[in-house]
Structure formats: C-alpha cells, structure tokens
Amino acid sequence: MFIGKTLSQSFEDSLMMAKCEKWNVVYKNGTSRFLSLVLPGVFTMNLSKLDSGKLKQKRKDSAYVEFSGSGGFDQSKYMTIKKSRVYKLQMGTDENSTAALFVVTNESKEKRQTFLGKLMSKNDEDENEVLSSESNVYGTIKRNNLATAWKFSLKNLSANHFGNSGLPFSLFYPPEGFLTSETDSLYLERASFKADAVLVNAEGHHVGAVKFRKKPFVIWVRKDIDNSLQDAAALFFGVMIARRSF
C-alpha cells in the first residue's frame, strides 16, 4: 500500500510539474520576492503585523515542591501560555491586490520556577523549561475586487519538527493544512520530490507545491487552474515561508 501510494504521488507530481510555473523565493524582513525561473518578472508579498491583534494568556496548571539530597530546594509551577497575533500578507498593489489576513496562535506548556524557589535553589540550570510548543495559523485569503474568500488553516509549521532527508521523498508527514472556498476544498500532502508539501484538490490532483523549511525557498503553482486559486495557493505558500517572522 505504501509503495502504491508513493507511485501515485510521484505520477501526480510529475503531471503537476509539467504544468507548473516555478518561482524561487527570496525572503527578508517580512518581504518575499518571487523570481520566475521561466518567465521574466518579479512579484512581491509584504507581511505586516496588526498591533490590535496582540493577545497573551497565562494559566497555572499545577505546582510542586522538591527537596534534593544535597540540600537543594525547588518550588516550581506548570503553566500554559497562549500567544496570538494578527498578520496581513499582501500581494499586488492596493488598488488590485490579494491579501491573507490570519491569526497565529502559539501555545506552550512550561515549567516556571517561583520566586521563593529561585531564592532557595542551589541549581540554576533548570529554572525554567519549555516542555512543549505548538503553533497554528487560521485565516482568510481574498482579492479586493471579488466577494469570494478562501479560508485556510495550518498546523505543525515548526522548522525543526520535520526534517529533510537525502531521499527523493520525505519520510516525515507534512504540516496539516487546508485551503477551502464555497466550491473547492484542498489539503496538504507529502511530496514525492524535493518539496516539503503539495497542495491537492478534492479529485486528488496536485495543483501546487512548496519548499519552505530550508533555503532555497521554492513554490510551484499550476498555470492551468483558475486565477483565484493561483493567487490563493501562492499566498497560502507565502504564509508558510514567512513563518520565521511569527
């Protein structure tokens, strides 16, 4: 079953690559410059923070006290910390642009040493510790002269959560991601080539791909799909590349 799935993915990726335009992406300080390897021209995406969307929450989960045999004293508490911020990623001019408006949520489970524990502890190496961390993205993509909007979500965007092997395909799962509209529904899947993920429609056809974990950043988008989906896929991949600024 695994071999059959891999061959099917390879076939679909081959069909996609034959119909795709490939862009090298230069990302710096919130700006992505997309350089076509086939056609002359450059287009940019600009990322901006919306300060009104900043939110931070802390919740105390539990506490404990520990005495070591060497006379050390450790009084700590376990906390859940949630941070949220709103971003905008825009492509094109203000008069004719497509923009992604999205919320990035970061939730971490942390061990924090109390003030009393810090005063009495003889071991300063493990004062505070991040036990786990997860980042999720939820948002919409819309062209300013169209009423139809795309919704998207992304999970597991950490650069270190999944690795790139030397094999022609990754042994790791891609990030979980969905891109939907009133009429279309697409999802992310593992690629059979040097991309980190491919975007697949409801019929199982691969319509785009992205390499976003390590440089060089690259996107592929099919030229024979609707312009609205082309823009939505490009911005969807742009959010994944811009994750370093979240």
- Per the domain annotation, does 49 fall within a domain? yes
- Per the domain annotation, does 60 fall within a domain? no
From residue 165, alpha-carbon distances to 4, 172, 181, 198 in Å are 21, 9, 34, 17
pLDDT in tens, 1-36: 545 556 577 888 888 888 988 888 888 877 777 765
* 109 pLDDT above the threshold of 90: no
Query: Cis omega (within 30 of 0) on the bond before 216?
Result: yes
- Per the domain annotation, does 64 fall within a domain? no
- Domain count of the chain? 1
When mean pLDDT is compared across 58-62, 213-217, 226-230, 232-236, the lowest value belongs to 58-62
SS3 133: strand
- Per the domain annotation, does 142 fall within a domain? yes
When mean pLDDT is compared across 68-72, 75-79, 143-147, 202-206, the lowest value belongs to 68-72
Burial of residue 9, with CB atoms counted within 10 A of its CB: 0-12 exposed, 13-18 middle, 19 or more buried: buried
Q: Return d(Cα 110, Cα 79) in angstroms, integer.
A: 5
Share of the chain above pLDDT 90, in %: 28
Q: Return d(Cα 175, Cα 198) in angstroms, integer.
A: 10
Q: Return d(Cα 169, Cα 160) in angstroms, integer.
A: 17
Domain containing 223 equals: 2-55+86-107+134-245
- Per the domain annotation, does 177 fall within a domain? yes
- Per the domain annotation, does 220 fall within a domain? yes
Q: Return d(Cα 214, Cα 196) in angstroms, integer.
A: 9
Band of residue 209 on the pLDDT scale cut at 50, 70, 90: very high
Tell me the mean pLDDT in the region 214-228: 91
pLDDT in tens, 46-55: 888 886 656 6
- Per the domain annotation, does 39 fall within a domain? yes
Q: Return d(Cα 8, Cα 70) in angstroms, integer.
A: 61
- Per the domain annotation, does 12 fall within a domain? yes
Full-model pTM: 0.76
Mean pLDDT, the chain, integer: 77
* 131 pLDDT above the threshold of 70: yes
pLDDT the model gives residue 65: 46
